A and B are shown apart, each in its own frame.
Chain A
Amino acid sequence: MNPTTPEIMENQTQFAEEQPLLEAEHIPTSATPSDISREKPKHSIKKIALFGSLAFLFLILILAIAMRMTMRREGLRITELASPSPIAEKQVPSQLQQTLDLLHEDVEKADPSRNDLPFPPISFEIYIQKPQR
Chain B
Amino acid sequence: MKKKLLVCLFLTIVLCTLPSILYAQENTPSPFDSAKQLYLTMLETYRVKEQEFSIAREQYAQVQTLASLEVAVQASKNVQFARIDTLTAYFNTLLTYIANIKGLELTKKTVQQQAIQKSIDDLQTQRSEIEKATDRIQLDAQSAVFAKKQESYISVSYQTLALAKIALYQSAIDQLRIVYTQLREQLGQQNLDETTKTIKLRAFDEVIRTIEEADVSTQNAVKRYDQLNSNAVMNLNSYLQVIDVLSTGYAKILQAESFIKELAKQ
Binding site for B on A (CB under 8 A): 47, 50-51, 54, 57-58, 61-62, 64-65, 68-69, 72, 89-90, 92, 96, 99-100, 102-104, 106-107, 109-113, 115-129, 131
Q: Is B175 an interface residue (CB 8 A)?
A: yes
Per the bound structure, the CA–CA distance linking A90 and B219 in Å amounts to: 37
Q: Is B111 an interface residue (CB 8 A)?
A: no
Residue from the list A109, A115, A125, A126 in contact with B172, Cβ < 8 A: A109
Shortest B208–chain A CB gap in Å is 15
The interface residues of chain B lying within 8 Å CB-to-CB of A131 are 140, 144
Whether B171 lies near A106 (C-beta < 8 A) is yes
Knowing A54-B12, A106-B171, A119-B236 are in contact, say whether A112-B247 is a contact too (CB < 8 A). Answer: yes
Binding site for A on B (CB under 8 A): 4, 8, 11-12, 15-16, 18-19, 22-23, 26, 36, 39, 43, 46, 50, 53, 57, 60, 69, 72-73, 76, 79-80, 83, 86-87, 90, 93-94, 97, 136, 139-140, 143-144, 146-147, 150, 153-154, 157-158, 161, 165, 168-169, 171-172, 175-176, 178-179, 182, 236, 243, 246-247, 250, 253-254, 257, 260-261, 264-266
Shortest A42–chain B CB gap in Å is 13
Whether A127 lies near B161 (C-beta < 8 A) is no
User: What 9 new A-B contacts, CB under 8 Å, besides A90-B266, A124-B146?
Assistant: A103-B257, A107-B176, A109-B172, A112-B243, A119-B153, A128-B139, A128-B140, A129-B136, A129-B140
Whether B73 lies near A128 (C-beta < 8 A) is yes
Shortest B17–chain A CB gap in Å is 10
Residue from the list A57, A65, A119 in contact with B157, Cβ < 8 A: A119
Knowing A117-B93, A120-B90, A125-B147 are in contact, say whether A110-B169 is a contact too (CB < 8 A). Answer: yes
Whether A112 lies near B250 (C-beta < 8 A) is yes
The interface residues of chain B lying within 8 Å CB-to-CB of A119 are 90, 153-154, 157-158, 236
Whether B175 lies near A102 (C-beta < 8 A) is yes
Knowing A90-B265, A110-B172, A119-B154 are in contact, say whether A65-B22 is a contact too (CB < 8 A). Answer: yes
Knowing A64-B19, A96-B182 are in contact, say whether A110-B87 is a contact too (CB < 8 A). Answer: no
Whether B19 lies near A123 (C-beta < 8 A) is no
Listed A/B pairs (16) with beta-carbon separation below 8 Å? A50-B8, A54-B11, A65-B19, A92-B264, A99-B178, A110-B246, A112-B165, A117-B93, A119-B154, A119-B158, A122-B46, A122-B87, A124-B150, A126-B143, A128-B136, A128-B140
The interface residues of chain A lying within 8 Å CB-to-CB of B179 are 99-100, 103
- Residue with the greatest number of chain A CB neighbours at <10 A, chosen from B22, B86, B264: B264
**Closest A residue, CB atoms, query B170:** A110
**Closest B residue, CB atoms, query A53:** B12
Residue from the list B83, B161, B236 in contact with A123, Cβ < 8 A: B83
Shortest A65–chain B CB gap in Å is 5
Per the bound structure, the CA–CA distance linking A21 and B71 in Å amounts to: 95
Shortest A18–chain B CB gap in Å is 40
Per the bound structure, the CA–CA distance linking A74 and B57 in Å amounts to: 58
- Residue with the greatest number of chain A CB neighbours at <10 A, chosen from B46, B172, B254: B172
The interface residues of chain A lying within 8 Å CB-to-CB of B143 are 125-127
Per the bound structure, the CA–CA distance linking A107 and B11 in Å amounts to: 49
Knowing A58-B15, A96-B182, A124-B147 are in contact, say whether A110-B250 is a contact too (CB < 8 A). Answer: yes
